[in-house]
Amino acid sequence: MTASFSHQPRTPSSSGPPPECPAHSHFGRVDDLAWLLGPEALKDPLAWYENLRAKHGPVAPVRLDGDLPAWLVLGYREILEVSGTTTRFSRDSRIWRPFREGRVPPDFPLLPMMAWQPVCLFLDGEERSRLRLAVTESLDRYHRRGIRRHVMRFTRELVAKFAERGEADLADEFAEHLPMLVLTKILGMPDEYGPRLVKASRDMVAGTETSVASNEYIVETLKRHVRRKRGSPGHDITSWLIEHRSGLTDEEVWNHLRVILIAANETTVNLLKSTLRVVLTDPRCHASLAGGQMVLPDVVEQVLWTEPPLMTVPGRWAAVDTELGGQKIEAGDMLLLSLAAGNQDPAIRPDPSAPLFGNRSHLAFNSGPQECPGQNIGRAIADTGIDALLALLPDATLNIPESELTWKSGWMTRHLTRLPVTFTPPEAELLEDDEAEDRAAAPEGAGAGARPSPWGAGDAAAGPVPPRPSAAPVPHARKPWWDTLRTWLRR
Ligand code: HEM
């Protein structure tokens, strides 16, 4: 552990800084701290985490923009400890020392994700439980009513736009759009909201110079939407939030819609891209899928281990002086949870090449009271979207060498910039079949299991399951996913 830490009173000296100098805190000298948004971290975040782990152990001091220090939690067990101990690690960002001392500039790029808002993300205790219940129950209600109908419709519509060309960039023309189109639908918004919200939410999460403006755009759109839904409710998450017995105000409703949009879109886009990449480039995965030893949900789960869509979670704030992973944490310190580093922690994965087949105990959705309440919606969009896409383009092949694929990294997420493929244009009737979505949809309120599902375990109950002891393939061979789906679509 190298973070020099002392609770001892520091003696001012003529050569040294005054004790209250933010450049010399218990994190160590701010100039010496690894920079969370620095070129090294953005170029290869996984390698950067490992360097930090080697130097500092499971909890490392880092520097944010504006020379503000924070702790980056890299250890699997330490992430669970922080997430599960709300008495020591609060969600209330108002206790962050730089906020209290007025040291956070108004254009701080992480501000949209950290400035306190009256939403469950930033609350503890009873108030949090009230709001979290409304969110969880409203999301679950839609899940049971069959999200896949929208996924299949929008997949068909997106493919129809590029089908004739026999080539497409699946990152830009498919994965970037599908989640927000489905989300606007389940939130009860008009279709045309989708494209602008895609742009604004990506920008906001990336922490760019225009993040604050993008956030304002999203907020204005949601305020208008809630006013409209108050007057004309429907079968959608917005209406269910409005009518929930927790009695949310309009402000609470639009604030939670914002949380849902931001939490759901970027993460699901990334999951789609990463899973598509594995399916298109990993010959063993392709062979296992085609031979029926694996189904897409297995691939999705593997990706959630190796490339969690949300690499770093903002944030937790120490409510008391405490200790974590050998570091002394002071009340008011900020902690960022590196889920990607936690997933590859040698303390729980001494052999990173050991198979993870069937093991859902990754941190991609975090754990504890804040565990992602939309995880099965995210899984369903990814599984169903890729199933439906590959049913339409069964011979899609990456048309550049895998080594030429590039990623864009921010401090929270990392995503593929493009996935160019070639394919045989699908038969027009597959793209025009307007009835398919209705046939495929589960009956209202019947849940995802109402029909045989080509994506199998994707809608299984949330939460980790014990690891399987070996990578042995499941004993019964399944039909290739595109055969199953194609038969199903043509019924
Ligand atoms: C598949 C992609 C997804 C991933 C990897 C993911 C990941 C996460 C993680 C790690 C958290 C916990 C953050 C924390 O500990 O502070 C979270 C929270 C949350 N997620 Fe997801 N998520 C995904 C999809 C979704 C979807 C599709 C929705 C909604 C439709 C959603 C809604 C939420 C909400 C509302 C929270 C806040 C929960 C709370 O604070 O109590 N997520 N998500």
More confident residue, 58 or 457: 58
- Calculate how far, in angstroms, residue 151's C-alpha sits from the geometric centre of ligand 1: 19
Residue nearest to atom 30 of ligand 1 (CA): 374
pLDDT of residue 14: 35
Q: What mean pLDDT is predicted for residues 310-336?
A: 96
CATH fold label, 120-490: Cytochrome p450 (1.10.630)
Q: Is the alpha carbon torsion for 260, 261, 267, 268 positive or negative?
A: positive
Taking the CA atoms of the chain, what radius of gyration do you get in angstroms?
Answer: 23
Q: Decide if pLDDT at 7 tops 80.
A: no
Residue nearest to atom 41 of ligand 1 (CA): 370
Q: What mean pLDDT is predicted for residues 416-441?
A: 78
pLDDT of residue 238: 97
Q: Decide if pLDDT at 192 tops 70.
A: yes
Quick check: CB of 271 below 6 Å from ligand 1?
A: yes
pLDDT of residue 145: 57
- Calculate how far, in angstroms, residue 97's C-alpha sits from the geometric centre of ligand 1: 26
Q: Decide if pLDDT at 291 tops 70.
A: yes
Q: What mean pLDDT is predicted for residues 48-64?
A: 96
Q: What mean pLDDT is predicted for residues 319-336?
A: 97
The domain locations on the chain are 120-490
431/57 Cα distance (integer angstroms)? 53
pLDDT of residue 476: 30
Q: Decide if pLDDT at 456 tops 50.
A: no
pLDDT of residue 412: 86
Q: What mean pLDDT is predicted for residues 307-315?
A: 93
Q: What is the mean pLDDT of the chain?
A: 82
User: What is the pTM (predicted TM-score) of this model?
Assistant: 0.84
Q: What mean pLDDT is predicted for residues 218-240?
A: 95
- Calculate how far, in angstroms, residue 194's C-alpha sits from the geometric centre of ligand 1: 19
Which of 372, 376, 455, 459 for a ligand 1 pocket mutation test, highest count of atoms within 8 Å of Cβ?
372
Confidence of residue 24 (pLDDT cuts 50, 70, 90): low
Q: What mean pLDDT is predicted for residues 67-77?
A: 96
Residue nearest to atom 9 of ligand 1 (CA): 365
pLDDT of residue 113: 78
Confidence of residue 107 (pLDDT cuts 50, 70, 90): confident
Short-list 452, 323, 300, CA closest to 378? 300
